[in-house]
Amino acid sequence: MQDKAMNDSLKKLLEIAEEMIMEKGCRATTLQDIADRSGLTKGAIYHYVKSKDELFGMILEAGMEKTNQRFFESVARTPAGPEGIKSPLNTLTERLRNIGSGDSATSLIFIYLLSQQDKPAVAGILKRYHEASILTAKTWIEVGQQNGAIPISIDADRTARMFTVFKNGLQVQHNIVTDGDKINELEIYEFLMNALGGAGRG
């Protein structure tokens, strides 16, 4: 996470920022609000970040790291072979469903930062997030291939890029479609299965 150690103070800072984003939205949430609720001074916050946008970027990265951890925990509990992909895919499906619901700080932050992408610093945050998303997804696919759960013929890099486009689309969808038109959990799972060459199907 931008080479910043996740100590207790930083973890608390991110958690409080997420809470306030869900309560007030990204634009209305200020570093002063976060400082007041956390009990930290703005100077202490500036020890970790240079701006609110950078703090929001760290929340995106932290969310990705949590998903990555859950994925590998799921992989460790499952057998090798095609059946072994189901539990990790369920983990990713749940995460994507939450992102697509619009009820997550991650989605709100992503949309907010996109609206600020004309700022060079924000463009850099989005680029790092996009590249990290691709690299993380590629790692997941390669782990599946190493364990015989995903066909070796699948192009890990290309599929990871497509996965990232899909994830980004889910983060946007709650702003432009009605509830009845949103992609549901089963559709997300089927997309992942199809993208991975029907891995895990009997």
Position 179 scores a pLDDT of 64
> What is the tens place of the pLDDT at every residue in 49-108?
999 999 999 999 998 898 888 888 888 877 766 666 777 888 888 878 777 666 688 889
Position 139 scores a pLDDT of 92
In Å, what is the CA distance from 133 to each residue of 105, 145, 159? 17, 18, 12
Residue 118 banded pLDDT, cuts 50, 70, 90: very high
Residue 141 identity = I
Position 193 scores a pLDDT of 82
Q: Has domain 52-195 been given CATH number 1.10.357.10? A: yes
Position 84 scores a pLDDT of 66
Mean pLDDT, the chain, whole residue set: 84
Residue 199 has pLDDT above 80, yes or no: no
Q: Where are the domains of the chain?
A: 52-195
Position 116 scores a pLDDT of 93
**Helix pair angle (52-77, 105-115), 10° resolution:** 140
Q: Where are the alpha helices (DSSP H) in the chain?
A: 8-24, 31-38, 42-48, 52-77, 86-101, 105-115, 120-146, 156-173, 185-195
What is the model's pTM?
0.83
